[in-house]
């Protein structure tokens, strides 16, 4: 029998291509070998220093994007670099969760000490944290109700990730429609007390998931009165309240956890993005009540909370939980908000400004992607959140002077 390999398999077996030359800018514009899932800026980034990124042509950018809310401590941070070096000295990058290791347990203890939580589950990304949270909430709900108590409710404008359950809880048709059928038992509700009151049936609903500040959905602060309402009814009806703090948590609002600024204490919080200084990690914080429903073997992950990534995350968490950095975010964040409101007062092209701490959304008349491209040309990196909203997520260590410079450049391109 002869076996004919399909072309991609054949090419996968051929020798690896030579490493990319240092002049990666020669690749600019070429589609390259990566899957076509992102529109990437054409000139590659080759270096990071503090709050500045440098591309292959030597152009410098003030970074108001932080790798999408990940690089809270900026780039080439001496503390993070030292934590990486120290973590390597143990010789342990990975052991699997079949063994106890100190860094993960110390990190979990630190998260518990600083939050409402009693237990922590580590994973590798934000979507994975939310998928785990849904499973944990369902398992808990089965211990307090019947198997019918499994529905998960998310809110209009939500973004919770790209896997089958997290995307089912995400309110973006373009992310959902090509991949149907999505995971079942997940419904999106209006951010409206009356509708939620009717939907949150004690017999069938296991959990509600909310981003206290919706990030991808346009930097929308969920009304604290709605959060208080949700806390009251979820408690009465024995429904788990999950806060997705993957983007807005870990210092970004000027509080260590976003829930601290809402007056509401959830049952589960999901974290990821900045937690390990740019290494992939997610975490699920759990109240004892939810955690006690779990049995060994019911959920797992090969890499989650491994000793290398957890050592680095421990350092990052010590830094992000310091009162000094949180005060800096509150103070410079207030300056950012004032400056953006002043820009709005001066320009008819800015329609609205919303946010807190180092997380701001700016509604603009023009397409946000076009403004982000012009801002890049002017040496400032910003994100969009929807067609007409700019999203600003600077590293939490950015100085007021750098924020001022970046916003002046942004106003120039507006």
Ligand X SMILES: Cc1ncc(COP(=O)(O)O)c(C=O)c1O
Angle, vertex CA 409, rays to CA 390 and CA 347, nearest 5: 65
Q: How far is the CB of 354 from ligand X (least distance, A)?
A: 16
Residue number with CB closer to ligand X (37 or 324): 37
Site for ligand X in 318-377 (CB under 6 A): none
207 binds ligand X (CB under 6 A): no
Binding mask 55-94 for ligand X (x = CB under 6 A): -------------x--------------------------
Of 236, 232, 221, 158, nearest to 193 by C-alpha is: 232
Please, are residues 320 and 72 in contact by the beta-carbon 8 Å criterion? yes
Residue number with CB closer to ligand X (145 or 394): 394
Exactly one of 55, 244, 260, 402 binds ligand X (CB under 6 A); that residue is 244
Residue number with CB closer to ligand X (66 or 339): 66
Q: How far is the CB of 130 from ligand X (least distance, A)?
A: 6
Exactly one of 55, 131, 211, 402 binds ligand X (CB under 6 A); that residue is 211
Binding mask 5-24 for ligand X (x = CB under 6 A): --------------------
Q: How far is the CB of 68 from ligand X (least distance, A)?
A: 6
Residue number with CB closer to ligand X (111 or 165): 165
Exactly one of 247, 253, 287, 339 binds ligand X (CB under 6 A); that residue is 247
Of 69, 74, 98, 102, nearest to 314 by C-alpha is: 102
Q: How many residues bind ligand X (CB under 6 A)?
A: 15
Exactly one of 45, 107, 117, 127 binds ligand X (CB under 6 A); that residue is 127
Q: How far is the CB of 385 from ligand X (least distance, A)?
A: 10
272 binds ligand X (CB under 6 A): yes
Exactly one of 171, 216, 267, 363 binds ligand X (CB under 6 A); that residue is 216
215 binds ligand X (CB under 6 A): yes
Q: Please, what is the angle between helix 400-413 and helix 323-346, to 10°? A: 30
Residue number with CB closer to ligand X (131 or 151): 131
Site for ligand X in 143-172 (CB under 6 A): 159-161
Angle, vertex CA 287, rays to CA 285 and CA 292, nearest 5: 110
395 binds ligand X (CB under 6 A): no
Distance CA 36, CA 200 (A): 39
Q: How far is the CB of 251 from ligand X (least distance, A)?
A: 15
Exactly one of 108, 246, 359, 397 binds ligand X (CB under 6 A); that residue is 246
Q: How far is the CB of 129 from ligand X (least distance, A)?
A: 7
Q: How far is the CB of 93 from ligand X (least distance, A)?
A: 20
Residue number with CB closer to ligand X (115 or 339): 115
What is the SS3 string spanning the chain? CCCCCCHHHHHHHCCCCCCCCCCHHHHCCCCCCCCCCCCCCCCCEEEEEECEEEECCCCEEEECCHHHHCCCCCECCHHHHHHHHHHHHCCCCCCCCCCCCHHHHHHHHHHHHCCCCCEEEEECCHHHHHHHHHHHHHHHHHHHCCCCCCEEEEECCCCCCCCHHHHHCCCCHHHHHHHCCCCCCEEEECCCHHHHHHHCCCCCEEEEEECCEECCCCCEECCHHHHHHHHHHHHHCCCEEEEECCCCCCCCCCCCCHHHHCCCCCCEEEECHHHHECECCEEEEECHHHHCCCCCCCCCCCCCCCHHHHHHHHHHHHHHCCHHHHHHHHHHHHHHHHHHHHHHHHCCCEEEEEEECCEEEEEECCCHHHHHHHHHHCCEECEECCCCEEEECCCCCCCHHHHHHHHHHHHHHC
Residue number with CB closer to ligand X (145 or 278): 278
Please, are residues 91 and 297 in contact by the beta-carbon 8 Å criterion? no
Among the candidate windows 37-45, 125-133, 200-208, 316-324, which touches ligand X by CB under 6 A? 125-133
Q: How far is the CB of 100 from ligand X (least distance, A)?
A: 26
Residue number with CB closer to ligand X (247 or 311): 247
Exactly one of 125, 255, 287, 311 binds ligand X (CB under 6 A); that residue is 125
**Closest residue to ligand X in the complex (CB):** 126
Distance CA 215, CA 198 (A): 26
Residue number with CB closer to ligand X (69 or 350): 69
- Residues at the interface with ligand X (CB under 6 A): 68, 125-127, 130, 159-161, 211, 215-216, 244, 246-247, 272
């Amino acid at each position: 029998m002869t076996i004919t390999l399909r072309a991609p398999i054949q090419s996968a077996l051929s020798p690896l291509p030579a490493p990319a030359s240092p002049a990666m800018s020669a690749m600019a514009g070429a589609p390259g070998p990566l899957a076509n899932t992102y529109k990437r800026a054409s000139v590659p980034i080759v270096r990071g220093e503090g709050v500045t990124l440098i591309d292959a042509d030597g152009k410098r950018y003030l970074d108001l994007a932080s790798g999408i809310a990940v690089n809270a401590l900026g780039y080439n941070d001496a503390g993070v670099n030292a934590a990486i070096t120290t973590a390597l000295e143990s010789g342990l990058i990975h052991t699997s969760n079949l063994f106890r290791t100190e860094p993960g347990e110390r990190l979990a203890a630190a998260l518990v000490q600083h939050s409402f939580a009693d237990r922590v589950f580590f994973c590798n990304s934000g979507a994975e944290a939310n998928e785990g949270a849904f499973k944990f909430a369902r398992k808990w709900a089965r211990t307090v109700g019947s198997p019918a108590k499994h529905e998960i409710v998310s809110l209009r404008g939500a973004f919770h990730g790209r896997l089958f359950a997290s995307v089912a809880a995400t309110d973006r048709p373009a992310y959902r429609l090509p991949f149907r059928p999505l995971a079942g038992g997940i419904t999106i509700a209006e951010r409206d007390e009356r509708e939620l009151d009717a939907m949150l049936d004690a017999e069938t609903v296991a959990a509600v998931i909310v981003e206290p500040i919706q990030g991808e959905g346009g930097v929308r602060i969920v009304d604290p009165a709605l959060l208080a309402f949700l806390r009251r009814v979820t408690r009465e009806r024995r429904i788990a309240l999950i806060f997705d703090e993957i983007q807005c948590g870990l210092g970004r609002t000027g509080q260590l956890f976003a829930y601290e600024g809402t007056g509401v204490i959830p049952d589960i919080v999901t974290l990821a993005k900045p937690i390990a200084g740019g290494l992939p990690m997610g975490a699920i914080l759990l109240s004892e009540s939810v955690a006690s429903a779990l049995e060994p073997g019911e959920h797992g992950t090969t890499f989650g909370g491994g000793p290398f990534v957890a050592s680095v995350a421990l350092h990052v968490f010590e830094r992000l939980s310091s009162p000094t950095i949180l005060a800096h975010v509150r103070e410079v964040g207030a300056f950012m908000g004032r400056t953006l409101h002043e820009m709005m007062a001066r320009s008819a092209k800015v329609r609205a400004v919303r946010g807190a701490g180092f997380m701001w959304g700016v509604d603009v008349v023009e397409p946000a992607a076009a403004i982000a491209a012009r801002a890049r040309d002017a040496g400032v990196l910003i994100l969009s959140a929807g067609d007409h909203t700019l999203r600003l997520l600077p590293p939490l260590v950015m100085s007021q002077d750098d924020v001022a410079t970046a916003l002046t450049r942004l106003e120039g391109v507006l």
